[in-house]
Structure 1
Amino acid sequence: MKMLIILGAINALISVAAGAFGAHGLEGKLTEHYLEVWETACRYQMYHGLGLILLGILNGVTGTTMFNAAGIVMFIGIIFFTGSLFILSTTGIGILGAITPIGGVLFIAAWVMTIVQVLKI
């Protein structure tokens, strides 16, 4: 429970810091396209950081370990999705775009796991 909330808060923090860095430190250094990619990474990191916090709270309230499993899947999704987009936007290495959908699928899987578990309660 605590670990998911902590991971969620850390990811929210990184999202805010990366967003500020993108807006102020990368402006003029990246193309408009790659600035948008950077913003997408920040946005999805925040969404799923909040998702991790929610899963930690649900785990604490229900004691159900499936929320922990969904949190692990979601966290790995953050690494794949936002990590690949951050690297892609700063390096332009196009092959990294092939990794991003893996993170997206992990996000979807984590949300499906959450829905299924809530329906079981």
Structure 2
Amino acid sequence: MNKQIIITASVFGVLAVMAGAFGAHGLKTLIEPQQLAVWHTAVEYNFYHVFALLFLSTFGQNKSKFISASYYLFTFGIIFFSGSLYLLACRDLLNMSWLWIMGPITPVGGLLFMAGWITLALAAMRGK
């Protein structure tokens, strides 16, 4: 599981760096400041949870169901939370006004993040 966690964190890490650079250099003149702030929030939470994934990998060979749950919760949290914000920030640029439907997906990602942190705490409490 550790190898899978580190690989997932690496993929999301490189995507966060790319998204941050794209926002700072490519989108800066193309979208409104409010949309750029949304993009920046997506990048921040993407990075925060890359670090959370890397922390999960430090649990060694712990085969805890809570570690596994945290892994999936953080992973899908990044996809739902940051992914929906990336799309929402660019919906005008992409001329896809229908992307407003992503709005309700963002809080689901936030709930997944919270559940991931709770299961991480449970893993620590039950670990040796």
TM range (shorter): over 0.9
Cα distance per residue 1:55-97 (max 9 Å; x no partner): 1221x25343421221011101111001100000001432311
Q: State the superposition RMSD in angstroms.
A: 1.2
What is the aligned length?
Answer: 120
- After TM superposition, give the deviation of residue 7 of structure 1 in Å: 0.5
* 8 Å CA contact retained: 1:56, 1:68: no
Alignment-derived partner of residue 18 in structure 1: 19
Alignment-derived partner of residue 33 in structure 1: 34
- Aligned identity (percent) is 38
* 8 Å CA contact retained: 1:4, 1:68: no
How far, CA to CA, are the matches of 1:87 and 1:30 in structure 2? Answer: 12
Alignment-derived partner of residue 7 in structure 1: 8
Q: TM-score, normalised by structure 1?
A: 0.93
Cα distance per residue 1:22-71 (max 9 Å; x no partner): 0000011000000000000000000001111111221x253434212210
Q: Which shifted more, 91-100 or 42-51? A: 91-100
The gaps in structure 1 that reach 5 residues or longer are none
Q: TM-score, normalised by structure 2?
A: 0.88
* 8 Å CA contact retained: 1:5, 1:54: no
SS in 2 for 1:62: coil
How far, CA to CA, are the matches of 2:72 and 2:62 in structure 1? Answer: 17
How far, CA to CA, are the matches of 1:117 and 1:66 in structure 2? Answer: 5
Amino acid at match of 1:91: R
How far, CA to CA, are the matches of 1:90 and 1:57 in structure 2? Answer: 36
